[in-house]
Amino acid sequence: QTLEGRDLTSLAKYIKSSDCGKVILMLGAGVSTSAGIPDFRSPETGLYSNLARLNLPHPEAVFEINFFRRNPVPFYTLAHELYPGRFRPTITHSFIRLLAEKELLHTCFTQNIDTLERRAGVPEDKIIEAHGSFATQRCIECNASYDDEKMKDHIFRKQIAKCNKCGGYVKPDIVFFGEDLPLNFKLAVPHLRTADLLIVMGTSLTVHPFASLAQMVDKTCPRVLINLDHVGDFGARTDDVILLGKCDDVVRMLCKELGWEEELLALWNE
């Protein structure tokens, strides 16, 4: 057993040991809630429980490609609220950068479309935006790409952007339900088998295929869950560490244990 205590102290000891060279992260909306961005499924505060005003058949429809084709208005309304630029990265995002600076971060798989990992200074080649982002956009009918500035303008004015070529609706390259995940996601998946540590933060682990990544690490690779709720099959493996709480609080305690707290705060205050 690698992580005897299955707690913060044994985790910090393992991270500092020579056995731990390749850390892989899986992130969800819970790492950005302290930045002011709602998650999806938390009761009361989550996006899905606050979409009644958009008159959707069911909340997830806002991210369904067939629904968007019929009615893009709800998505554009939401995009206006979620558009990156208005939010500052969190302590947890700075922790990810710190892992990269310590040359421990191998890959940061994120479901988030807020681009806060990049904005916190995590190297782009370490980030896999599994559900895409607002960085680029295209026509859902003919796939023609659409100008970044024009798109921004449309989202700010809550106006539906239409393709210059065929008139089809334009959608940011966010992966909707019913769409394939990006190629770089598929190419990065095999690296999980060789990870020395998996840290899962701020996700309900309900959306597949992303959620299934947590099962792909080797049986000998310790897995850590940092989340408000106990999710997935954490606890099923001997070396699973479950740290329930707010990501920022747990990450800060972990950095204290590692002797990295000052560096963490310096990065966050940059």
Q: Could you say which of 131, 154, 191, 208 is catalytic?
A: 131
Site for ligand OAD in 37-66 (CB under 6 A): 39-42, 46, 63
H/E element, 66: helix 65-70
The answer to the question of residue 246 lying near ligand OAD (CB under 6 A) is yes
Between residues 63 and 76, which has the closer beta carbon with respect to ligand OAD? 63
The answer to the question of residue 231 lying near ligand OAD (CB under 6 A) is yes
Minimum distance, C-beta of residue 227 to ligand OAD, in the bound complex (Å): 4
The answer to the question of residue 94 lying near ligand OAD (CB under 6 A) is no
The b-or-e profile of 220-254 (16+ CB within 10 A means b, else e) is ebbbbbbbeeebbebeeeebbbbbeebbbebbbeb
Active site residue 131: yes
Picking from 70, 76, 41, the residue whose alpha carbon sits closest to that of residue 171 is 76
- Contact partners, residue 18, CB within 8 Å, separation at least 6: none
Between residues 28 and 89, which has the closer beta carbon with respect to ligand OAD? 28
Picking from 173, 168, 172, 202, the residue whose alpha carbon sits closest to that of residue 80 is 172
The answer to the question of residue 225 lying near ligand OAD (CB under 6 A) is no
Q: Which residues bind ligand OAD (CB under 6 A)?
A: 28-30, 33-34, 39-42, 46, 63, 111, 131, 175, 202-204, 206-207, 227-229, 231, 246-247
